[in-house]
Structure 1
């Protein structure tokens, strides 16, 4: 087997995509306040984009309220804007450097919107996994073309890459189904 084809590396990269998807999905609201809801939000401060938890402390003082304590007063507007533009249906109430986010009850329409967003996240995950798969397949083709691996090794490795891809795409589908059930549970 070729020294520079590593199935474990491909699997690690695909798994990190799934972890990322799970983080994004955990941010989708299901009627209860959660600090993870704000995880995907990037705030533009100091000339670059940063995760919200690097410019503020996010906490859940009550089941239906998230509070965001911004550390630097000059970033309050940027954090407020990022939360409003994140399309999470949240309207921050600004009180000095503290932003309170009341979590409205989910309407049927909002549940449908959240389910669509979950599908979008899952599709991004599938695409990312397929991209890793394609890179692996391209590398195998190149290795065979350069006579570094045999045709048999190429076919065996390709089959293993495809198996891994199918397994992880299935995991994404299961994760999505579980999140959808959670979103639609009243």
Structure 2
């Protein structure tokens, strides 16, 4: 593996870690309705675990309400129960052939606890990024030991990897800051 391949590999791994962060933050509700909040909820659909958005149409009714319209009417109670039992603290209401999911307003205390969750997610991602950097640096040291690259090339590669790491850490900070602002907005 060349130093360029190592850089591409770690950049790819770091980007995937940030994608996971963004995905996890999307699940943290901000008091406003968005259809992505239900993406991780699955239901038993004829014996297999299936995501709600695969068996129902999920739409925004307005800024505070989501509408779920199952493709099959017999799934209404199952979907409603899955949403109610999820970790989101939502209370869906069925209306004939659809389900309305109102987003309750967040209390100040709940907002502050969500900000702590957001920061914790950010820290976990920063640790993952640093572990990827350490893994790459260990690989470079092994390459020097095996005389595949020179010490100068190792130093240049480590500097390059550090720059990538710094960029990703800054990006994580920006993502976290934006999410904190969303959570604290009324």
Query: By the TM > 0.5 criterion, same fold?
Result: yes
1:42 CA displacement: 4.2
Q: TM-score, normalized by length of structure 1?
A: 0.80
1:129 CA displacement: 1.8
Alignment match, 1:182: 182
Alignment match, 2:90: 90
Please tell me whether the aligned partners of residues 70 and 98 of structure 1 are also in contact (alpha carbons under 8 angstroms).
Answer: yes
Q: Which has the larger radius of gyration?
A: 2
In the TM superposition, what are the counterparts of 1:1-186 in structure 2 within 5 Å?
A: 2=2, 5-39=5-39, 41-43=40-42, 45=44, 51-71=51-71, 73=74, 77=78, 80-81=81-82, 83-94=83-94, 98-186=98-186
Please tell me whether the aligned partners of residues 70 and 76 of structure 1 are also in contact (alpha carbons under 8 angstroms).
Answer: no
Q: Give ranges in structure 2 of 5+ residues lacking alignment.
A: none
Q: Give ranges in structure 1 of 5+ residues lacking alignment.
A: none
Please tell me whether the aligned partners of residues 5 and 140 of structure 1 are also in contact (alpha carbons under 8 angstroms).
Answer: no
1:33 CA displacement: 0.8
- Runs of 4+ in structure 1 deviating by more than 6 angstroms, as ranges, are none
- Stretch deviating more after TM superposition (66-75 or 171-180): 66-75
- Stretch deviating more after TM superposition (5-14 or 153-162): 5-14
CA distance in 2, matches of 1:70, 1:171: 38
1:136 CA displacement: 1.6
Q: 1:134 to 1:68 in 2, by over 3 A?
A: farther
- Residues 34-56 of structure 1 deviation map (CA, whole Å, 9 limit, x = unaligned): 112223x2426467665443343
Q: TM-score, normalized by length of structure 2?
A: 0.80
Q: 1:85 to 1:143 in 2, by over 3 A?
A: farther
Determine helix, strand or coil for the equivalent of 1:67. Answer: strand
1:65 CA displacement: 0.8
CA distance in 2, matches of 1:4, 1:145: 18
